[in-house]
Structure 1
Amino acid sequence: MVHTCVVSGCRNRRTPGTALSFYRFPRDPERKQRWIAAVNREGWMPNEGSRLCSTHFISGRQVKNPRSPDYVPSVFTSAPLSPNIKEANAFEPYDKQEAQVEAANALLFLQGQGRLKEGHSHNHCQGDPESAASSLNSYDEEEEDDDDDDDDEREEESVLESEDQIKQEIPLRNICTQSVNYEASLNALRKENIELRGSLAKMSLTETSFRNDPEKVQFYTGLPNYFVFETVMWLLVPHMKGDKNAKLSTFQQLLLTLMRLRLDLRNQDLAYRFGVKVATVTRTVHRVINIMFTTLVPTAVYWPSRLELRKNLPAAVKCSHPDCAVIIDCFTVSLEKAVSVDVNPHCAASAADMVPQSPHKAFVSELKYVIGVAPQGVVMFVSRGSPGNVSDKTLVQSSGLLCKLLPGDVVLAERDFDIRDLVSACRAELKITSSDHHGEIFTGDQHLREQASLVTVERLNVYNHVGRVIQMVKKRYSMLTGPVESPFTVLDRSSGVTTFDKIVQVACALNNLCISAVPLE
C-alpha cells in the first residue's frame, strides 16, 4: 500500500527505495489529539490509512517516551503552527538543537532502564536474548509500518506488551533489591540490639544483674555475694513495707543505701542512677539506715558470752591471753564543716548528749569513737561519736563498754588508755601490748626477758586484729573515712542518736556478715 504524509504541503510518499518511515496516528486518545493539533488541518480527522512521515520528528523517528520531544511531531516547515499546537506540546520549550540533546539524554536514560531489565531477565528469560533486545528497543521507538496494516497492528501491540512487561519487571527488580537490603539491615540491627542488651545488663542495677555476679555485689554493696545481700533484704523487708508511696522497690532501696555507704556517692549522683529526685534519695537513705539500726545492728553487733569467746579463740590469743574478752582502740572521722557545741568540762558526755549547761563553746571538726573487737576479728562494740578532743578515758567511761566486762576478763589495748582504774573497778584487767611497756609487764632474768620478747610479738600480732578490722570497715564502707556531711550529724530526737552514729554501727554490722579479718585457727 502506498502511504502519503497527511501534513499539508508535505509531498513525501512511501516508494520503493525510500529511507523515510511512515507512522499511523496513536491509539491513545490524548496523544492522538496532540498529533492532530500538530498537523494543523482545520476540520480534518485521520482515518485508518492516515500516516505521518519521519521528517516531522526531530530525531527522524517517533518516540513513545512522554518526556521526549519526539513524543509529538514538531517539525513543520511548510506551514506555521497554530497557538493550540504550542500549548499542547508541553515538552517543546527548546529549539531543534536543544531538543536533540534532550532526546539523546532520554535514550541514555532508557538504556539504563534496559540494563536493569537485562539483569532481571537473566533469571527469567535466559533462553530468549532476542526478546530482551526487543524489549529494550520497544520503549524508544516503533518499527516502520509495513505495507500490510495487520502487521502494523501486531507490531504496535507487541510494543505495548513490551512496555507493560518492563513496567512490571522494573518494580519487581527494585522490590527484590530492597528486600535484600532490608534483610541485611535487619540482621545488623538485631546484632546491634543483642550487643546493646548485653552492655545494658552489665550496667543496669537490677536483681537479675546482681544475682550471678559476686564481683558486682561486692563492688556496690561491700557484701561478699548475693546470698548475703538477699539475707539482709529478707531481714529488712517486713519493716520496709509500710511506705506505700515508695517509688523504689525494696531491692532498690537497700541497694541505694548500701551504695551510699560503700562508695560515698552524693545524693544527686544516686538520683541520676535510679531515676528519682534527690529528696527521694535522702528520705530513702535515712529510712533504711534507721531500719537497719533497729533490726540488723542488734543481730550482728553484740557482746558474746564468755563461753563463746573462749571456745573459738585464735591460737595466738589462746597461748598468751586465754582470758581475753575484747581488744579496744579508738578511731576518728573528720567533719565536712566544723560545728559549735556547748561543752561542760566536768561532764563526760558524747556530742549527741551535749546540752547548754555552761557558756563554754567548742568547735568540733571530727568525731571520735571507741571500738571493741573480739579476738576472732568481729566487731562486738561501737560507741557513739564524741568530739575529737575528748580524752580516751572520758570516751571509754561514757561509752558503756565497762558495763559489759565480767570479773576476770582481760582487755587488750596497744596504746596507753588511761582506764586501768576503771577496768579494775570492774574486777577486770587491762593489758597494754605496746613495746614501751615491756618493763612494766615483764621483769626478771635474761630467760624471762627472752620469753617476754616472744610474748610481746604475739601481743603485737593480737593487736593487729583490731587494726585490720578498723581498716577493713573503713575500706569496705568509704563513708566512714569522712568527711561527714552536716545533715548526718543532726541529732534524731526520737532515738537520741545522730544519723552518722547509726551509719557507723550499721557499717560494723555489715562488716561482721563478711569474712572475718582473723580466720579461725
Structure 2
Amino acid sequence: MGMYCCVPGCDSVSHYKNGLRKSGYSFHNFPAWRTNRGQQISEITKARRMAWVAAVRRKNISFDHISPGMKVCSRHFASGKPASEMQTTHPDWAPSLFLDGPEVKRITSARYKRLRWRRVFAVTSAVKDQLSAVPLQAEQAMQTMDKGAVHDDGDVAEEELLQAEQAMQTMDKGAVHDDGDVAEEESTDETVAECDLCQPRLEEINRLMEENRRLNKELEKRAMGEEFLKDDTKVEYYTGLPDMEVLMGLLSCILPRLSTPTGTLSPFQMLFLTLMHLKLNLPLQHIAHLFNVNGKTASEAFSEMIDVLHATISPLVIWPSREILHATMPYQFVEAFGRRVAVILDCFEIFTQKPSNLKAQAQSYSHYRQSNSMKYLIGVTPQGAISFISKGCGGGASDKHITETSGILDKLLPGDMVLADRGFDIQDSVGLMCAEVKIPAFTQGRSQLDASDVESTRKIAHLRIHVERVIGNIRNKYTILSNKVPISFVLPCKREDVTFLDKLVVVCCALTNMSTSVVVKIQ
C-alpha cells in the first residue's frame, strides 16, 4: 500500500501506479507528545507537534487527532528529513518548504543561522557591548537577513551569507577596534575578570552541595525507614513493640520467609507498614501515601506480611508445661489456690461487616452485641502471657460450644484448675478431663451466698480480671481489632482451614507476648 503526503497541494506518493516504489522521497510521521521524559522534553515535543499541525493546516488534523496514515514527505524539509527534536531553531524542526498559504512562517537556513547568532549575542553582556563595534558589513548582512532576502528557490545569496559568517568570526574572536587589531590589554582584563568570578562560583557550588546534603538528610528522617524509628517512643507508638532492638530481631526472624523484594518497599518498610496498620488502624490508602506507593502495593505487602508473621511468630502463643507454671506462679494465685491454676479463660468479639449470605448473617449475629461479629476464646496464664487462642466462631456461638470445640480441653491435665467467667457453663466438660473449673458462686442460682462462697467469689473475680486486662491490652495496642473488619477477612484462606482474621488475631496475640505483660506491671 502506497503512502501519500498530507500537505495540501502536494502530490508526492511513494509508489507509481504500476506498483513500483518511487525513489528520492521519504515519508515521516507527525511527532508524538512525550509526557514521560520530564517537563522539558514534554514542552518541546508538545510545541513541535503543534508546529507540524500548524504547518500542514488540514481541517481533519488536530493536535489530539492525527490519523496514522497522515505523513509529510521529504520535499517539505530543507535537508530532506526532519531535524532532531532538541534542535528547536533548526529549519527542519518543522515542515517549512512548499507549504500551502503565506500564514506559515518558513524557517530557512539563513533564519536558522540568524537565530543561532542572536543566542550568541545574548550569552554575556560583554558581547552586547561589542555590538556597536561590529563592522558595517556585518550589520548590513544582518539587516538583509532580517528582511528575509531569500531567492525564489529558497536559498540565500552566497555573498550575503559569506559576509555574515565573516562578521560572526570577527565577533567570536573578541572585541574589534576601529583599526581591526585586537588589544592585548582587553584580553588581559577579560582573564582577570574571569578569575574574579571563580571564587564566587566556588562558594555558590559549595553552598549548593551543603544544602543538598542537608535536604537529603532531612528527607531520610522523613522517609518511613529505620532512620524514622530511631526513638523507642516512636517504635512503641507506631508498632506496639517496646523498642528498636525487638523490632530488628523480629525482622531478622522473618527475612528468610519473605519473597524476593520488588524494590518498591524494603523488608523493613513492609514490616513497618504492617505493624502500623495493626497498631493505628490507619486506612491502607493513607499508609500507602506515607510510604509513597500505590494502594495495591500496600495491600499486597500487608497480606504477605501477615502470612509470614503468622508462620513465624505463632509459636509464641504456647501452652506452658506444668513445671513452668509452678515456677512462675504469682504469689496471689499461690495464696488463693495453691499452684493449681493452669489458665484463665474468656471470650472476646471482633465486629465484622454484615455478610450478604443469610445463613452467614444468622451464624455471625451476636444478640448480646446486637451486631455481626466473630468470637474468639483466649486463655491467659497466671503470669499474664497468652497461652491459647482459638479459631474464630460466629458471634451467635455460645462460650461453652467454643470451649468444647476449640481444643483447649485436650491441653488440661488432671489436677489443673481453670478460672472462668460466669458465662462459661463448662463444669461437666472440664470434669471429664479430671480438672476443676472455678467460676463466681452467684452463677449457681442462689439468692444469698455463704461466707465461704463470698470469699471464694471475691478471690476468683479479683484474679480472673487479669484476662480482661490482657484482652484490653490487645485491643488498645492493636486497634484494628477494636473496629469493624471487612467481610473478606473472615473468608477461608486459599488451601488453608483458617481465615485471614484468624491469622491476624494470632499475630496480634504473639506480638503482645513480645512486650511486657500488663499483669506483671500491675503487680
Q: Does TM-score exceed 0.5, indicating one fold?
A: yes
C-alpha displacement of 1:185 = 4.4
| Residue among 234, 248, 252 paired with 1:234 | 252
Work out the CA distance in 2 between the residues paired with 1:434 and 1:182: 88
Task: Answer whether contact 2:430 2:436 (CA < 8 A) is retained.
Answer: yes
Deviations 1:245-286 (A, max 9, x none): 675433233223222222223333343344444333333322
C-alpha displacement of 1:231 = 2.2
Give 1:124's aligned residue. none
Helix, strand or coil at the partner of 2:377: strand
Stretch of structure 1 that moved more, 306-315 or 200-209: 200-209
Deviations 1:197-232 (A, max 9, x none): 34323222223544x432232233221122222222
Give 1:251's aligned residue. 268
Give 1:399's aligned residue. 406
Identity %: 32
Give 1:300's aligned residue. 316
1:469 equivalenced with 2:486 (yes/no): no
| Residue among 298, 321, 327 paired with 2:337 | 321
Work out the CA distance in 2 between the residues paired with 1:428 and 1:168: 106
| Residue among 326, 330, 333 paired with 2:350 | 333
Task: Answer whether contact 1:434 1:460 (CA < 8 A) is retained.
Answer: no
Stretch of structure 1 that moved more, 215-224 or 466-475: 215-224
Stretch of structure 1 that moved more, 372-381 or 401-410: 401-410
Task: Answer whether contact 1:333 1:480 (CA < 8 A) is retained.
Answer: yes
Change (3 A) 1:171 1:307: same
Task: Answer whether contact 1:327 1:375 (CA < 8 A) is retained.
Answer: yes
Task: Answer whether contact 1:317 1:458 (CA < 8 A) is retained.
Answer: no
Give 2:231's aligned residue. 213
| Structure 1 runs of 4+ with >4 Å offset | 64-68, 163-175, 178-188, 243-247, 433-442, 455-458
Change (3 A) 1:305 1:204: same
Paired residue type of 2:252: W
| Residue among 443, 450, 453 paired with 2:450 | 443
C-alpha displacement of 1:502 = 0.7
Give 1:425's aligned residue. 432
1:204 equivalenced with 2:223 (yes/no): yes
C-alpha displacement of 1:344 = 12
Task: Answer whether contact 1:328 1:413 (CA < 8 A) is retained.
Answer: yes
Give 2:280's aligned residue. 263
Task: Answer whether contact 1:316 1:461 (CA < 8 A) is retained.
Answer: no
Give 2:359's aligned residue. 342
1:374 equivalenced with 2:381 (yes/no): yes
Give 2:392's aligned residue. 385
1:511 equivalenced with 2:512 (yes/no): yes
Give 1:490's aligned residue. 491
Work out the CA distance in 2 between the residues paired with 1:496 and 1:425: 28
Q: Where in structure 2 are the equivalents of 1:90-101 lying within 5 Å? A: none
C-alpha displacement of 1:496 = 1.1
Helix, strand or coil at the partner of 1:380: strand
Change (3 A) 1:443 1:302: same
Paired residue type of 1:380: S
C-alpha displacement of 1:414 = 3.5
Deviations 1:139-196 (A, max 9, x none): xxxxxxxxxxxxxxxxx9xxx99x97688658846863x5565456456545544443
Bigger Rg, structure 1 or 2: 1
C-alpha displacement of 1:509 = 0.7
Deviations 1:30-65 (A, max 9, x none): xxxxxxxxxxxxxxxxxxxxxxxxxxxxxxxxxx99
Helix, strand or coil at the partner of 2:438: strand
Work out the CA distance in 2 between the residues paired with 1:174 and 1:485: 69
Tell me the number of residue pairs that the alignment of Structure 1 and Structure 2 aligns.
354
Alignment RMSD? 4.2
Give 2:125's aligned residue. none
Task: Answer whether contact 2:223 2:291 (CA < 8 A) is retained.
Answer: no
1:365 equivalenced with 2:385 (yes/no): no
Change (3 A) 1:310 1:440: farther
Helix, strand or coil at the partner of 2:391: coil
Task: Answer whether contact 2:344 2:382 (CA < 8 A) is retained.
Answer: yes
Paired residue type of 2:491: V
Work out the CA distance in 2 between the residues paired with 1:224 and 1:65: 73
Change (3 A) 1:441 1:329: farther
Helix, strand or coil at the partner of 2:517: coil
Work out the CA distance in 2 between the residues paired with 1:435 and 1:457: 11
Change (3 A) 1:187 1:465: farther
Task: Answer whether contact 1:433 1:463 (CA < 8 A) is retained.
Answer: no
Change (3 A) 1:468 1:186: farther
Helix, strand or coil at the partner of 2:424: coil
Work out the CA distance in 2 between the residues paired with 1:181 and 1:440: 95
- Per the normalisation by structure 2, the TM-score is 0.57
Work out the CA distance in 1 between the residues paired with 2:131 and 2:290: 64
Give 2:11's aligned residue. none
Deviations 1:350-408 (A, max 9, x none): 87xxxxxxxxxxx9721111111111111111111112122221222222222212122
Task: Answer whether contact 1:412 1:430 (CA < 8 A) is retained.
Answer: yes
Give 1:128's aligned residue. none
Helix, strand or coil at the partner of 1:505: helix
Work out the CA distance in 1 between the residues paired with 2:409 and 2:200: 81
Change (3 A) 1:65 1:482: closer
Deviations 1:282-320 (A, max 9, x none): 3332222222222310x2001111111111011212211
Work out the CA distance in 1 between the residues paired with 2:519 and 2:442: 22
- Per the normalisation by structure 1, the TM-score is 0.58
